[in-house]
Structure 1
Amino acid sequence: MHEMSLAESVLQIVEDTAAQQGFKRVTEVRLEIGALSGVEVEALCFCMDVVFKGSVADGARVELERLPGQGWCLGCGESVEIQALYDPCPKCGSYQVQATGGTEMRVKDMLVE
């Protein structure tokens, strides 16, 4: 399950930021997760609950912002929204669509005390 390693990476970002900026507790972590990222959101939330125990983020609320999948169609030259990697272009039906957005996962920001 790669969501556990993703949760551990998020905690590392939170702890590194806490050490650099000197805050003691994180009350909320906001993540951006793209529709094409391959992240299983429910599994990630479960893993974050487990990983955050005993850390500066213990009990922190996790807010998720889902980003749509975006692609560039080589067939019609249009930027289109796609639901999954390797989906055909919704405008022309071409399978030559290159993902341009929605593949990312990042810590957007956090609320701290």
Structure 2
Amino acid sequence: MHEYSVVQALLNQCEEVAKQNDASKVIKIIVKIGVMAGIEIHLLKVAFDTFKEGTICEDSELIINPQKLKLECKECGNIFEVEEVRYFCIKCESLRVKILDGEDMHLMSLEMK
């Protein structure tokens, strides 16, 4: 389950940002997770609740914003978003699409004090 290593990297990043801003505590963490990031959101929450103990994020709330898959059709130029993995244009049904967003996990913001 790679969610544990993802959470560890997230906690490390939060601690680093908090130190850079002279914060003693992280209250809220907002992340964006793409449909194709390969992360199980439920497992990520469980891992976060387990590993945040004893860290600067111990009392923090994790907010996860799912990111739809954003695609661009190379045939008709249509840019669209879908909630499931699909590799064809919803307008012209071409298979020539380019992924623009929805493959990654990003730390969007931290609330600290």
The answer to whether TM tops 0.5 is yes
Q: Percent identity?
A: 24
C-alpha RMSD of matched pairs (Å): 1.5
**Residue 55 (structure 1) shift:** 0.2
CA contact (8 A) 1:36 1:83 kept: no
Distance 1:81 1:109 in 2: 23
Q: Please say which of residues 4-13 and 33-42 is displaced more in the overlay.
A: 33-42
Distance 1:65 1:83 in 2: 13
Match of 1:51 in 2: 51
Cα deviation digits, residues 6-26 of structure 1 (max 9, x gap): 101110111111222211111
Q: Is 1:108 matched up with 2:108? A: yes
Structure 1 stretches of 4+ with a deviation exceeding 3 A read 83-86
Q: TM-score, normalised by structure 1?
A: 0.89
- Equivalences for residues 94-105 of structure 1 within 5 A: 94-105=94-105
Q: Kindly provide the amino acid, as one letter, of the partner of residue 60 in structure 2.
A: A
Distance 2:10 2:3 in 1: 10
CA contact (8 A) 1:34 1:102 kept: yes
Match of 1:37 in 2: 37
**Residue 59 (structure 1) shift:** 2.4
> Which runs of 5 or more residues in structure 2 are unaligned?
none
> Which runs of 5 or more residues in structure 1 are unaligned?
none
Q: Kindly provide the amino acid, as one letter, of the partner of residue 19 in structure 2.
A: A
- Equivalences for residues 45-84 of structure 1 within 5 A: 45-84=45-84
DSSP-derived class of the 2:55 partner:
coil
Q: How many residue pairs are counted as aligned between the two chains?
A: 113
Q: Kindly provide the amino acid, as one letter, of the partner of residue 2 in structure 1.
A: H
